[in-house]
A and B are shown apart, each in its own frame.
Chain A
Amino acid sequence: MTAPFVVTSKRFDFSEPLQLRSGAQLRDYTLAVETYGILNPERSNAVLICHALNASHHVAGVHSDKINETGWWDNMVGPGKPVDTDRFFVVGVNNLGSCFGSTGPTSTNPATGRIYGADFPVVTVEDWVDAQARLADVLGIARFAAVMGGSLGGMQALAWSTRYPDRVAHCIAIASTAKLSAQNIAFNDVARQAILSDPDFHGGHYHERGVVPRRGLRVARMIGHITYLSDDDMAEKFGRALSANELQYGFGIDFEIESYLRYQGEKFSEYFDANSYLLITKALDYFDPAAECGGDLTQAFIKAKARFLIASFSTDWRFAPARSREIVRALLDAEREVTYLEIDAPHGHDAFLLDDARYHGAIRAYFEGIAMRTGHHP
């Protein structure tokens, strides 16, 4: 057993207003950040890790006071890991509108002195990337060696490549997509409706009433969770196994899968903010970099300068391999440099968070190449 990788969170306060895509502005805001490793004197070894729906800036390691809460991508990022913090300076940042320390619906609105709640403006992937770029300015990072993320995090990496083409050398988007399908949006809206129709939602100002729309959050998470797993994976893990020894002939829990989903929903509703869930699912729905170019994704990538690594998993039906292939096809048409991994893995969308020798081996090899090309050796 190796010693735990102990990390600390930092807060960065920004006082220059952030113009949002919706037209609204954030007058001032805070970003919760973690960094691992050391920025080299040339400042060429920085890697930005972008998080997905329910994750945070706590990417790797543990906090000294919470030794059991390991970072969400700890199997990927850390000393000696595929994204090796002994070589790279890795930055994790909690996105605006989330609920882990960066400014979001649970923060105080400086205009009113009250909790934002439903008044927090709708943020987009591009807004997040703009905020991340300001963080990079403060950290003295002119150009990231890589910007990397899975799922919604991959969208941020893609947005970096076209929004700040000179500031990202490698763009790594895993289990991601360049736009949500109607089915994806449909699932998101069912999740939102679960929250919006919870009697405890109170138009998003539930904090003032001292309640939380927990039932809605639970159902939202249950729906989301179903889309993260593959049919085969669920069959393997749960099948039709019963929770008790026999059928209950009622509407309680009969099957293990029901027990599992309810547990996941319960756990989620204890730590995640309902307004954040609404906002972040909207950010997912709105992302469509091709829209600015008349629907032509190739045109969107023409301005990108990064080398790309796109990866998908065979049983991911949320953001299926076909979605990643669309990105690859557009990058090839735009004559960008791109490597594409299509990993045969049984775990559905969740595979991007799991340990898999082929997946991690390829990421490790790719980062070796990044280290070579950006000219820093340990």
Chain B
Amino acid sequence: MKRVLRSDLAFIADWIKPGSSVLDLGCGDGSLLAYLQEEKECRCYGVELDDRNVLASIANGVEVIQQNLEEGLAMFADRSFDCVLQLESLQMLRHTEGILREIGRVGRESIVTFPNFAFWTHRVAIARGRMPVTRALPYQWYDTPNVRFSTFTDFAALAQKSGFEIMACMALHEGRRITWLPNLRGSLAVFRFRKSPSS
């Protein structure tokens, strides 16, 4: 059975070299890792907290470690993975700088995605005086699992401050790449980065 990836995940899978080792933080049902295992012969591990997602990852044949990412990545050695992924889950973690440090420690390079708070419909909602409730941020302010909101530009600044060199970044909207006014027109921010040699 050939696995088909969601288009935003396909962009990310393109960046991952065949045969590399991949750690996916907040791996959900493990479908990206299952794809990387089967199609690119990657050595994959997922980290996930939610019982149902852990079960789904096992069912997908993915090795998954059940733990809370807020506790850091103590189980993983320095530079033990070619690539660490944190896809659409960074915004749910309180200790953003801490987890970024851990990502940089464990992975030779990293790919992080998160909902771009500066997406134009979010701006419109704010201009109208309300918190945005959109496809990218589908929660009311009082019951959202998201605890950190940032924009394309904000993340770039934090990555630099944290000693990362941004290798590539792009904005996506509904699975398509946005090149013109990405911080306004992209609902999903995608960053690929590594520790800068100087840091």
Contacts and interface: CB of A to CB of B under 8 A. Distances in A.
Interface in B55-111: 55, 58-59, 61, 63-67, 74-77, 80
Interface centre among B51, B55, B58 (most CB of A within 10 A): B58
A339 B77 contact: no
B58 A339 contact: yes
B54 interface: yes
B62 to A, nearest CB: 8
A362 B50 CA distance: 12
Contacts of A343: 51, 66
Contact of B59 (A333, A368, A373): A368
Contact of B65 (A335, A340, A362): A340
20 contacts: A325-B67, A328-B65, A329-B74, A329-B75, A332-B75, A332-B77, A333-B77, A338-B63, A339-B63, A339-B64, A340-B65, A341-B54, A343-B66, A358-B51, A362-B55, A365-B58, A368-B59, A369-B58, A369-B59, A369-B61
A362 B77 contact: no
A332 B75 CA distance: 8
A339 B59 contact: no
Helix, strand, loop or mixed for chain A's interface?
helix
Nearest to B58: A365
A337 B75 contact: no
Interface residues of B, number: 18
Contacts of B51: 343-344, 358, 362
A340 B66 contact: yes
Interface string A321-348: 0000100110011010111111110000
A368 B43 CA distance: 21
Contacts of B58: 339, 362, 365-366, 369
Nearest to B80: A332
A306 to B, nearest CB: 12
Question: 6 closest A-B pairs (Cβ-Cβ)?
Answer: A365-B58, A340-B65, A329-B75, A358-B51, A365-B59, A342-B66
Contacts, number: 50
A182 interface: no
Interface in A296-333: 307, 325, 328-329, 332-333
A18 B54 CA distance: 42
A335 B80 CA distance: 9
A361 interface: yes
Helix, strand, loop or mixed for chain B's interface?
mixed
Given A337-B63, A338-B65, A325 B55 contact: no
Interface residues of A, number: 24
A122 to B, nearest CB: 34
A343 B52 CA distance: 12
A372 interface: yes
Contacts of A358: 51, 55
Contacts of A368: 59
Interface centre among A307, A332, A337 (most CB of B within 10 A): A332
B63 A362 contact: no
A369 B60 CA distance: 8
Given A329-B75, A332-B77, A332-B80, A339 B55 contact: no
Interface in A245-262: none
Given A340-B67, A362-B55, A365-B55, A325 B75 contact: yes
Contacts of B66: 340-343
B7 to A, nearest CB: 28
Nearest to A336: B63
A362 B63 CA distance: 12
Contacts of A362: 51, 54-55, 58
A362 B66 CA distance: 12
Contacts of B45: 332
Nearest to A309: B58
A364 B30 CA distance: 17
A78 B55 CA distance: 21
A102 to B, nearest CB: 34
B55 A361 contact: yes
A132 B77 CA distance: 35
Contacts of A338: 63, 65
Contacts of A325: 67, 75
